[in-house]
C-alpha cells in the first residue's frame, strides 16, 4: 500500500487553502475531490463577499479567523493581481430596528472591526436610492473572484508538490497503526495517509462517518440549508454592498455586486432534505418584498433566478448559530484526523486563516 504524508478530502476553497498550507510546509499532499473539478459546491455558489467580521460572537473562531483571514485575503489578491475590490458595505435599519443596529455595532467593535454610524440622510448621500433610518458603513467589506482565488490556491499547492485527483470519491477510511487507509470509488484501500483532513463541506459529517471506529458523538448532524439567489435585469443604482440586519438563520436577502458591476440578491434560507441547486421562480415574491424594504424603486419584473448554494450547517431551526469546528485528536481522540465541520460563511473570507489553524492542529 502506498503511503503519503497528508490527504485533504474536498477541493473547495477551504480544502485548497489547507492543501497549499501543508504543501508549503513541506508535506507531501494529495487532494481528493469527488466532483470533476474544484469548487463545485458552496465555494462556487456564494456571494463572493469579503466580510469584515461584524456579525460573529466575540472570541469565536468565526470572529477571530474572519478578521485575520480578511486582511490575508486582500493581501493575497493584491500580490497576485487577482480580481478583488474593497467596495464597502452598508447595513441598513428601519425606524424600529435602531436598537438592533446599535447591538450589531457594539458586536463589531468588540471584534475590532472598523465601522461608521450613519443617519438616514448620510446614508442616502452615499446611496441616493436607499431607504433606511440609519446604517452602518463598513469600509473593509469587499468582493473577489472566488474561482480565480481557488485557481491560485491550487497553483501554489501544486508548485509545492501537492496533487489534485478529481472524480475520486472517498468511500472507505480505515485507521491503523501507521495512519488512515483510504479507499476511493468503492475500491479497497490502496493508499495510507499519516494525516487526514476532512474538508468536504456539506458532506464533512458523512465523510467522518466513514472512518471506522470513529466516535459517533463527535460527528454533528447535517442540516441542509439552501440559499437561493436572484439576479437583476439591468444595472442597480448602488455602488456598495447593501445588507439588511441579520436574521436568526442568515444575513438576510442582501444586494451584492460582482466585479463587472452586475447585481444579485440573496441568499434566502430554504430548508431542504438533500443538496439541491435549482432555484424556484416562485420564491421571487418574497425577494421583492425583502428588497423593497431598502430599495423601494425595485421595478416589477426586474428579478430572474440565478443560482443556489448549500450551507455547511450543523445547527437546526431555532438553534443558535454554531461556530466553526476544527476538530483534531484533542477533541475526538483519534490521532492524525482533522475534521472541519460547519465551515459556512464567513468561510471564504477566513479561508487562509482557517488553513493555518488547521495545519497547526494536525501537526
For residue 55, give the nearest of 355, 344, 292, 359 by alpha carbon: 344
- pLDDT for 285-299, tens place per residue? 999 999 999 999 999
Residues 266, 131, single domain; the answer is yes
pLDDT value at residue 1: 78
Residues 40, 154, single domain; the answer is yes
358, 50, 13, 22: CA torsion to nearest 10: -40
CATH (domain of 287): 3.30.9.10
Tally of structural domains, the chain: 2
Is residue 349, in this structure, part of any structural domain at all? yes
Residues 241, 357, single domain; the answer is no
Grid cell in block for residue 22: 501543508
CATH (domain of 203): 3.50.50.60
Is residue 81, in this structure, part of any structural domain at all? no
Is residue 174, in this structure, part of any structural domain at all? yes
How many other β-carbons are positioned within 10 Å of the β-carbon of residue 293? 16
Is residue 73, in this structure, part of any structural domain at all? no
Is residue 198, in this structure, part of any structural domain at all? yes
Residues 175, 288, single domain; the answer is no
Range of the structural domain that residue 189 is part of: 2-47+147-220+322-362
Is residue 74, in this structure, part of any structural domain at all? no
Average pLDDT over residues 320-334: 95
- pLDDT for 105-149, tens place per residue? 999 999 999 999 999 999 999 999 999 999 999 999 999 999 999
Residues 128, 192, single domain; the answer is no
What is the Cα–Cα distance from 220 to 209, expressed in whole angstroms?
A: 10
Kindly report the pTM of this predicted structure. 0.96
Residues 280, 347, single domain; the answer is no
Is residue 62, in this structure, part of any structural domain at all? no
Are 141 and 86 in contact by the 8 Å Cβ rule? The answer is: yes
Residues 155, 303, single domain; the answer is no
* CB-based contacts of 209, cutoff 8 Å, min separation 6: 216, 219
Sort 2 into a burial class: Cβ within 10 Å, 0-12 / 13-18 / 19+: exposed
Is residue 56, in this structure, part of any structural domain at all? no
Kindly provide the b/e burial profile for residues 194-214, where b requires at least 16 CB atoms within 10 angstroms of the residue's own CB.
bbbbbbbbbbbbebbebbeeb
Average pLDDT over residues 300-323: 92
Residues 23, 113, single domain; the answer is no
Are 351 and 345 in contact by the 8 Å Cβ rule? The answer is: no
Residues 124, 200, single domain; the answer is no
Are 84 and 78 in contact by the 8 Å Cβ rule? The answer is: yes
Residues 190, 161, single domain; the answer is yes
Pairing label, strands 142-144, 49-50: antiparallel
- pLDDT for 74-114, tens place per residue? 999 999 999 999 999 999 999 999 999 999 999 999 999 99
pLDDT band at 215 (very low <50, low <70, confident <90, very high): very high
Residues 230, 282, single domain; the answer is yes
What DSSP designation does 26 have? T
Residues 128, 109, single domain; the answer is yes
For residue 251, give the nearest of 65, 40, 62, 84 by alpha carbon: 62
Amino acid at each position: 500500500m502506498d503511503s503519503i504524508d497528508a490527504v485533504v478530502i474536498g477541493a473547495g476553497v477551504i480544502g485548497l487553502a489547507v492543501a497549499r498550507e501543508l504543501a508549503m510546509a513541506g508535506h507531501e499532499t494529495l487532494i481528493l475531490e469527488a466532483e470533476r473539478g474544484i469548487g463545485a459546491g458552496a465555494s462556487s455558489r456564494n456571494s463572493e463577499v469579503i466580510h469584515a467580521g461584524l456579525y460573529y460572537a466575540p472570541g469565536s473562531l468565526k470572529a477571530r479567523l474572519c478578521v485575520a483571514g480578511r486582511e490575508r485575503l486582500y493581501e493575497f489578491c493584491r500580490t497576485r493581481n487577482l480580481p478583488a475590490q474593497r467596495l464597502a458595505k452598508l447595513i441598513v435599519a428601519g425606524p424600529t430596528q435602531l436598537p438592533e443596529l446599535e447591538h450589531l455595532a457594539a458586536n463589531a467593535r468588540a471584534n475590532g472591526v472598523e465601522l461608521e454610524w450613519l443617519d438616514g440622510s448620510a446614508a442616502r448621500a452615499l446611496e441616493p436610492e436607499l431607504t433606511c433610518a440609519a446604517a452602518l458603513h463598513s469600509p473593509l467589506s469587499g468582493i473577489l473572484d472566488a474561482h480565480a482565488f481557488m485557481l491560485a490556491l491550487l497553483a501554489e499547492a501544486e508548485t509545492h508538490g501537492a496533487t489534485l485527483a478529481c472524480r475520486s470519491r472517498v468511500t472507505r477510511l480505515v485507521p491503523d497503526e501507521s495512519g488512515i487507509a483510504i479507499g476511493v470509488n468503492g475500491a479497497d484501500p490502496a493508499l495510507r495517509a499519516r494525516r487526514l483532513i476532512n474538508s468536504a463541506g456539506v458532506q464533512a459529517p458523512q465523510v467522518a462517518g466513514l472512518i471506522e471506529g470513529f466516535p459517533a458523538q463527535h460527528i454533528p448532524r447535517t442540516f441542509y440549508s439552501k440559499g437561493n439567489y436572484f439576479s437583476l435585469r439591468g444595472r442597480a443604482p448602488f455602488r456598495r454592498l447593501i445588507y439588511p440586519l441579520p436574521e436568526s438563520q442568515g444575513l438576510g436577502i442582501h444586494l451584492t455586486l460582482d466585479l463587472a458591476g452586475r447585481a444579485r440578491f440573496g441568499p434566502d434560507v430554504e430548508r431542504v432534505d438533500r443538496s439541491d441547486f435549482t432555484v424556484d421562480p416562485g420564491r421571487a415574491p418574497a425577494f421583492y418584498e425583502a428588497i423593497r424594504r431598502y430599495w423601494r424603486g425595485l421595478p416589477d419584473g426586474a428579478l430572474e433566478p440565478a443560482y443556489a448554494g448549500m450551507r455547511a450547517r450543523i445547527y437546526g431551526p431555532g438553534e443558535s448559530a454554531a461556530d466553526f469546528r476544527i476538530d483534531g485528536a484533542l477533541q475526538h481522540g483519534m490521532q492524525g484526523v482533522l475534521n472541519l465541520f460547519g465551515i459556512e460563511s464567513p468561510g471564504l473570507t477566513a479561508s487562509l486563516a482557517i488553513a493555518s489553524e488547521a495545519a497547526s492542529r494536525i501537526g
